[in-house]
Structure 1
Amino acid sequence: MTTASEERMIRTDIPARLDRLPWSRFHWRIVIGLGTVWILDGLEVTIVGAVASRLTEPGSGISMTSADVGLAAALYVAGACVGALFFGQLTDRFGRKKLFMVTLGIYLVATVLTAFAFAPWYFFLCRFFTGVGIGGEYSAINSAIDELIPARNRGQVDLAINGSFWVGSGIGALVALLLLDESIFPPNIGWRIAFAAGFVIGLGIMFVRRHVPESPRWLFLHGRVEEAERIVDRIEAEVRAETGVQLPPPAYRITIRVRGSMPYRELVTIAFKRYPNRAILGLCLFIGQAFLYNAVTFDLGTLLHGFFGVDSSAVPYFMVLFAASNFTGPLLLGRLFDTVGRIPMISGTYLGSAALVVALAVLFRSGGLTTVSFMALIMATFFLASAGASSAYLTVSEVFPMETRGLAIALFYATGTAVGGITGPLLFGNFIHSGNPSLVATGFFIGAGAMALGGIAELIFGVRAEGKSLENIATPLTAEEAEADPRRQGEIQAARELNRRTDQEHEAARARNMRILRRAAERAEHERAGLRRARPGTGAAFYSPGQIGTAGTTSRWHAASDEELDRELNVITQALEEHGPTERSTLAGYVGGRYWGPRRFTQALREAVAQGRVRRLTRERYAPAGPRGESWSMTSSDC
């Protein structure tokens, strides 16, 4: 429900309505329609890496050196930076959907033209504009994904989507494997078809995107309230029809002031004056992953060919292995970013990969690596680094206010990538071209230092964003403006009166608050145990029981994640009380657990057992714990 009492003031519960949705086909459509852009990026980067050695051989149809390959990679990254900066501001001004259709179109045109390259300068130009399209995608796509995916699933989904880059990488390597086979295609034709393959995949993605809606969060922020309401109503109707789940009431509402687009100068002011720690964190994360990733990925083919004697036609085999390790990292570790937490997982993946790169550099310099051992170390390193790199995009899209999200992603991606993503391929390309193992090892040491910098920044400045709504992590600027307006005080008081609960609802809320307080106290005690008490980083706010949905304070957002868990616990308990001892799979069917999101049912069931609300009879069979008064030391009557 949204109300607008004056022309530029809007009160809405749209963010809460989106965050409470159970997992459904709608969310899979978002993942497929938007997340697959990373497949395109992976396809582009890997094709260049796989065909790089072919482009330097006689008869390729284009005369390039290994240094030219590094320059082309740098220009691709430079184009991505320009595209992110240019389209990042436009995506906040004109909307997510318009821009992710435009940027995909730019990519399609540029990648087709690359297939007709006849000279290095033409190849460089096409690669630059291909990067422009991909860079523009970053800000529009990450903004839309994080604004449409429920808070409880955002970390895992975001990492898996960003990790899908390596699905494209694997496809690119397999396609290149066939196209570089001179028994099938001439040496001057196969690599051209490889670039054209990106166009075919892009057309399929464009078709799916036509059915992805505009972000309702962006719409109401720009005053298009009725359109936002229609989209959310349609999504809710689709989800109810699919799942049969009765949606709980929204947990909170916010009041915002409609305002125009925000220029870069104001974004920089907000980022570095209002959120200086978060700004430093975003830069360090992006610089670290951009240097290491772009350096190794773009030059892996020439590295294998020049130092390990791998034939250019065999390079794609190794690229497939490299892609597999990179994809399984965020896929397998992704859920831990929502459960273990952002700070330990991000810092762990960055510092762990840095340590492995140091070992790789030492062994490479000493000549103690074979092709097999080199690839084993590379795969272990990027299993961790891939999850860390994906979390950089997640972090900058979470920790800044909604009005600046597209610009923030663009600014930090462009700045970090310009520093790390351009210098990395240039340095590595020239180091490899020199044929000196010590220089290449030096490049690896630099990459390890850059990743370590990101890990240390996360330990010091990291934000515990797991399970929180975007409006909780960073309060919208326009919400603060609206609530600070003295003309709003009468309306705010009226809203409080209108939102007062009935006596029965109030008693239920008090009982819920006590349960949430108990869990928060247990988590706080857990954080203080052992070495955890000295863990650096921003602490989690303690839950303050209050009227979620009342205006005037930001505390109303802090409870949304805990309330969602409490609702899931109640549903599980009620189902067992109604049906008696039940198999786990049957219980999941009773409560609609498959629609809660990846592993949400498992986590809620484990929490119910830990709290004594559910008894575990066997490995797969559960029963109610008895009257609720026996399971809780404090109930609603104690409040």
Structure 2
Amino acid sequence: MRDTPGPTTGDRFETDVPARLDRLPWSGFHWRVVVALGITWVLDGLEVTLVGSLAGAIHQSPSLALTSTQIGLTASAYLIGAVAGALGFGYLADRIGRRRLFFITLIVYMLSSVATGFAWDFWSFALFRALTGAGIGGEYAAVNSAIQELIPARYRGTTDLCVNGTFWGGAAIGAVVALVVLDPAIIDPEIGWRGAFVVGGALSLVVLLLRRHLPESPRWLMLHGKPEEAGRIVGEIERDVAASSGPLPPPSYGNVVLHKRGAASLGDIWATMFGTHRDRAVLGLVLMSCQAFFYNAVFFTYALVLTKFYGIPAHHIGWFMLPFALGNLAGPLLLGRFFDTIGRKPMITGTYALSGLLMAGTGLAFAAGWLTAWEQTAAWTVIFFFASAAASAAYLTVGESFPLEMRAMAIALFYAIGTAVGGVVGPTLFGWLIESGDRSHIMWGYLAAAALMLVAAATEWRLGFAAEGRSLEDVSAPLSAERPAGR
């Protein structure tokens, strides 16, 4: 095993860091990465599900008494915060490193979540939700980029989908917690919904401790002119893996030749996204926007549909949220490996298309009044089994589409645009449609969401690319592989 980079000449250097990372067998180190970084998704799922499950209690809260439209607006506030956080923290993650951002974004999330439990009116609740979203938006950029850079290429698709899918493990926990905190026989619902936010935020302290033992991404160090430090970290990882797995296999490809050039400028990002990789930019935008509208429109108003049209009491919503969450969790866990075996393009196309077709059928059945509350829940559970894998694959696609120097910013930018276009509009629109009390109006919202997923499926079939089993540097050559202008 070699702990040092290849030869260096002037601003040019050679490194074997990518090949050494990609050759590693799955090990305890990779499990630590997945747990320490992916557990944030569990906490996010816990909190977001609580908001959905607690919508009825917050609507009836004597201190807040939010209307259906205001609840939709607070969901939009959360997503607006996520957009701002993704852009700001994503920009920083490509400049100051993944590891520093892990801690900053998690602290923002933790403090804001706790503060939500002490909100006193609509505006304070919306503000704290926006700040919570900012922390989570930053997490999406830094964590997704780090996971892709640390996980071997042959496991990258499976791991990325499963990590993003664990959001729904937290959602399942949130559904169970909601059953407890909203049961008047156990606790006053006014205290229960507030305590749920406080406890959920406080759990982030455990994540902070887990992340203390994770290194900076060697690929980030490599691309920022620190090949020696990157090689040292990879050497430590190799020794850790070899101690448990035995002798390591030889690298399957050679060294990468790079030039020192620093972080990508906004001009570099613009030229790459809308010049060199224009098709990939269009693909990422369509996948992210369509799944964001599809998901957020349904999920953030889930409880309102059940209470308003099926007469389900607020403290029983958790029973209906639980199977929905488990279906979302099962999708990436069971389908994830096929994105590395069958391939990205057929799997992404198929999951988007199935989600859209099933949603169209369910929307028509809802408008006709053919479904009971449990049948509606079963239909949504099946739909989002496929939609969850599709949504996770959107993040995977964006991360793989662009050079390493701008990975976090690319994820942040497309998450922000997709969320702004599809996510912010969705909850507010559906909140307004639900308040109208007319099933046919809501049906048109469901059909619009279904149509967007079909558009996304067609776009993937036309513009999708094969990234399974390939190194990140092969899928999209680093900007540093080119000699900087003027040299």
TM range (shorter): over 0.9
Letter paired with 1:106 = V
Residue segments in structure 2 that go unaligned for 5+ positions in a row: none
- Match for residue 218 of structure 2 among 216, 240, 243: 216
Distance (whole Å) between structure 1 residues aligned to residue 247 and residue 313 of structure 2:
57
By how many angstroms is 1:4 displaced?
5.0
Tell me which amino acid in the other structure corresponds to 1:137: E
**Structure 2: distance between partners of 1:35 and 1:166:** 12
Q: Judging changes above 3 Å, is the alpha-carbon distance between structure 1 residues 264 and 436 closer, same or farther for their aligned structure 2 residues?
A: farther
Corresponding letter in the other structure for 2:48:
V
Partner of 2:453: 451
Deviations 1:6-40 (A, max 9, x none): 44322100000000001100000000001111112
1:251 is displaced (CA, Å) by 2.3
Q: Which residue of 2 aligns with 1:364?
A: 366
Shift, 1:255, TM fit:
1.1
- Assess if the C-alpha contact under 8 Å between 1:53 and 1:66 holds in 2: no
1:31 counterpart letter in structure 2: V
Aligned to 2:57: 54
User: 2: CA distance between counterparts of 1:446 and 1:259?
Assistant: 45
Q: Cα RMSD between the aligned structures?
A: 1.4
C-alpha displacement at 1:183, in angstroms? Answer: 1.4
CA shift in 2, pair 1:58/1:204, >3 Å: closer
Q: What SS does structure 2 have at the residue aligned with 1:223?
A: coil
Partner of 2:47: 44
Equivalent in the alignment of 1:494: none
Whole-Å separation in 2 of the counterparts to 1:5 and 1:244: 31
CA contact (8 A) 2:114 2:202 kept: no
Partner SS for 1:56:
helix
Contact kept in structure 2, 1:78 and 1:128, CA below 8 Å? yes
Q: What is the alpha-carbon distance in structure 2 between the residues aligned to residue 349 and residue 83 of structure 1?
A: 29
How does 1:523-562 map onto structure 2 within 5 Å? none
Q: What's the counterpart of residue 197 of structure 2? A: 195
2:200 and 2:7 mapped to 1: Cα distance? 46
Q: Does 1:277 align with 2:279?
A: yes
Equivalent of 1:464, from 466, 475, 483? 466
Distance 1:30 1:97 in 2: 12
2:253 to 251, 256, 266: 251
- TM-aligned CA distance change 1:86 to 1:361, over 3 Å: same
Quote the Cα distance in structure 2 between the aligned partners of 1:246 and 1:135: 37
**Counterpart contact for 1:431–1:439, Cα < 8 Å:** yes
3-state SS of paired residue (1:11): strand
Supply the distance in 1 between the matched residues of 2:230 and 2:382 (Cα, whole angstroms).
45
Q: What is the deviation of 1:192?
A: 0.5
Q: Deviations over 1:267-288 (max 9, x none)?
A: 1221111111100100010011
Aligned runs of 1:375-524 on 2, under 5 Å? 375-481=377-483
TM-score, normalization by structure 1: 0.74
| 2:300 match: secondary structure | helix
Cα displacement (A) at 1:197: 2.3
Greater C-alpha Rg = 1
Q: Structure 1, residues 164-204: CA drift from partner, whole Å, max 9, x if none? A: 01011111111111011111211210001111122232111
Question: Which residue does the alignment assign to 1:204?
Answer: 206
> Structure 1: which amino acid aligns with 2:162?
A
The answer for the alignment partner of 1:318 in structure 2 is 320
Cα deviation for residue 262 of structure 1 reads: 2.1
Alpha-carbon distance in 1 for matches of 2:416, 2:119: 27
For the Cα contact (< 8 Å) 1:89–1:263, is it kept in 2?
A: no
Tell me the amino acid that sits aligned with residue 37 of structure 2. Answer: L
Indicate the SS of the match to 2:190: coil
Q: How does 1:41-440 map to 2 (within 5 A)?
A: 41-59=44-62, 61-249=63-251, 251-440=253-442
Q: Does 1:15 align with 2:27?
A: no
Q: Is the 8 A contact 1:146 1:397 kept in 2?
A: yes
Counterpart Cα distance in 1 of 2:280 and 2:371: 39
- Provide closer, same or farther for how the CA distance between residues 308 and 242 of structure 1 changes in structure 2, counting only shifts above 3 A: same
CA contact (8 A) 2:22 2:251 kept: no
Classify the secondary structure of the residue corresponding to 1:45.
helix
Name the SS of the counterpart of 1:189 in structure 2: helix
Q: CA deviation at 1:369?
A: 1.3
> Per-residue deviation at 1:434?
1.1
> Per the alignment, in what secondary structure is the counterpart of residue 314 of structure 2?
coil
Residue 58 of structure 1: CA displacement? 4.8
Q: How far apart, CA to CA, are the structure 2 residues paired with 1:440 and 1:333? A: 30
CA shift, 1:449, in A, is 1.3
Return the letter of the residue paired with 1:436: D
Work out the CA distance in 1 between the residues paired with 2:280 and 2:483. Answer: 21
State the AA in 1 paired with 2:212.
Answer: R
Q: Helix, strand or coil: the match of 2:128? A: helix
Residues of 2 paired with 1:137 and 1:155: CA distance? 19
Distance in 2 (CA, whole Å) between partners of 1:446 and 1:453 is 11
Aligned equivalents of 2:79, 2:267: Cα separation in 1: 24
Q: How many residues align?
A: 484
Q: 2: CA distance between counterparts of 1:287 and 1:452?
A: 12
Deviations 1:555-595 (A, max 9, x none): xxxxxxxxxxxxxxxxxxxxxxxxxxxxxxxxxxxxxxxxx
Alignment partner, residue 583 of structure 1: none
Partner Cα separation in structure 2 for residue 7 and residue 98 of structure 1? 29
Between the aligned partners of 2:420 and 2:248, the Cα distance in structure 1 is 48
Residue in structure 2 matched with residue 540 of structure 1 by the alignment: none
Q: Quick one: which amino acid aligns to residue 32 of structure 2?
A: R
Q: Is the 8 A contact 2:320 2:374 kept in 1?
A: no
Counterpart contact for 2:6–2:16, Cα < 8 Å = no
Counterpart-to-counterpart distance in 1, 2:414 and 2:61: 40
How far off its partner does 1:250 sit?
A: 5.8
Flag the 1:265–1:434 CA change in 2: closer, same or farther, 3 A: farther
Measured in 2, the distance between the counterparts of 1:391 and 1:367 equals 33
Any conservation in 2 of the 1:77–1:421 contact (CA below 8 Å)?
yes
Q: For 1:248, what is the secondary structure of its paired residue? A: coil
Give 1:84's aligned amino acid. Answer: A
C-alpha separation between the residues in 2 aligned to 1:200 and 1:167? 18
CA displacement, residues 135-159 of structure 1 (integer Å, 9 cap, x when unaligned): 0011100110000000000001110
CA positional deviation for 1:229: 1.3
8 Å CA contact 2:94, 2:263 repeated in 1: yes
Distance 2:138 2:39 in 1: 14
**Identity %, equivalent residues:** 49
Query: C-alpha displacement at 1:319, in angstroms?
Result: 0.9
Distance in 2 (CA, whole Å) between partners of 1:174 and 1:192 is 16
Question: Are the aligned partners of 1:264 and 1:407 in contact in 2 as well (CA < 8 Å)?
Answer: no
Q: Give 2:392's aligned amino acid.
A: S
Taking the aligned partners of 1:128 and 1:249, their CA distance within structure 2 comes to: 45
Q: Which amino acid aligns with 1:287?
A: S
Corresponding residue of 2:27: 24
Aligned residue for 2:118, secondary structure, equals coil
Q: If the length of structure 2 is used for normalisation, what is the TM-score?
A: 0.97
SS of 2:480's equivalent in the other structure is helix
Shift of residue 377, structure 1, vs aligned partner: 1.0
Contact (CA 8 Å) 1:2, 1:11: kept in 2 or not? yes
Task: Point out which structure has higher relative CO (alpha carbons under 8 A, 6+ apart).
Answer: 2
Task: Give 3-state SS (helix, strand or coil) of 1:188's partner.
Answer: helix
Q: Distance in 1 between matches of 2:267 and 2:45?
A: 32
